[in-house]
Structure 1
Amino acid sequence: MLTLNWSGKMKFTAHTESNHEVVMDAYTDVGGEDSAARPMEVLLAALAGCTAMDVISILEKMKTTPRDFKIEISYTKAKEHPKVYTDIHLKYIFYGNVPKENAEKAVNLSQTKYCSVSAMLRKAANITYELVFES
């Protein structure tokens, strides 16, 4: 179970089932103190974390762990409330000697089979991705 506690103004702390905390706040112009990420930002962070864990796990099983790895996410939101994400684009950036076919397989498996956050968001948004290889 997840519980959410109000910390005053527009600040909230979620206490997760795994006994960790996620703090969220709002911009000052809507009553927050701008002290933490917004809930929609946390949602994108969850997407990035979910697919990144899949990709690294799969690549490690292939014995092709990258030297470094990151994901950049760009997005478009609806103009009217609720301002949901309508388009989400993930840029997977691999550093080091990662064979292209291994990276493509890992990302594809994450996006089509394993990442539950992607699966949920795909019901509301168009999710696209690209792979970039850096030395």
Structure 2
Amino acid sequence: MKITLNRVNENFHFELKNDRGHIVNVDARPEFGGNDMGSSPMELVLMGVAGCSAIDMISILKKQRQVITSFKAEVEGERVQVGEAKPFKDIHVVFYLEGPINEDKAARAAQLSFEKYCSVSKTLEPTATIHYKVVLNGNPLTPEGGTSK
């Protein structure tokens, strides 16, 4: 896996490209000297959690012949000051699934993603706790949700 970064302007706007040619723009917000021409690196981390776990869950549910008519996720990260850096301390993920999906299978798919398959969340696990909840057809499956630790 390889990523190349090219600076686009004199500030903090970068174009990143993977070895398959897919491009992502990264920038800082204006209050940090950027032009807001792309997502911040920390936003990309949260997007990685969402994308990785979504791929896992949909793959698991498809193998179980579950029909997913809608799949959405919201991810929020809480950061903490550690020296000059502000890494994530807690990450909260809510999955919104719709369709004739078995509740137990939906909950188990989320659990398997975070406990076994999602490489992004496993990478973050030593420093951040990931909390997750599944909402199926408008109904939360568990009031508190799960946690990756």
Partner of 2:128: 125
Deviation, 1:92, is: 1.2
Partner of 2:97: 94
**Normalising by the residue count of structure 1, what TM-score does the alignment of the two structures yield?**
0.94
Structure 1: segments with no counterpart, 5+ residues: none
Q: Is the 8 A contact 2:75 2:91 kept in 1?
A: yes
Structure 2: segments with no counterpart, 5+ residues: 139-149
Q: Is the 8 A contact 1:56 1:65 kept in 2?
A: no
Q: Is the 8 A contact 1:26 1:32 kept in 2?
A: yes
CA distance, structure 2, for counterparts of residue 7 and residue 110 of structure 1: 36
* 1:111 and 2:114 are equivalent in the alignment: yes
**Normalising by the residue count of structure 2, what TM-score does the alignment of the two structures yield?**
0.86
Q: Secondary structure at the match of 1:44?
A: helix
- Residues 32-54 of structure 1 deviation map (CA, whole Å, 9 limit, x = unaligned): 11111111001100110000001
Structure with greater helix share of residues: 1
The total of aligned residue pairs comes to 135
CA distance, structure 2, for counterparts of residue 99 and residue 18 of structure 1: 36
Partner of 1:46: 48
* 1:7 and 2:31 are equivalent in the alignment: no
Moved over 4 A (4+): none
* 1:79 and 2:81 are equivalent in the alignment: yes
Query: Could you tell me which amino acid in structure 1 is paired with residue 8 of structure 2?
Result: S
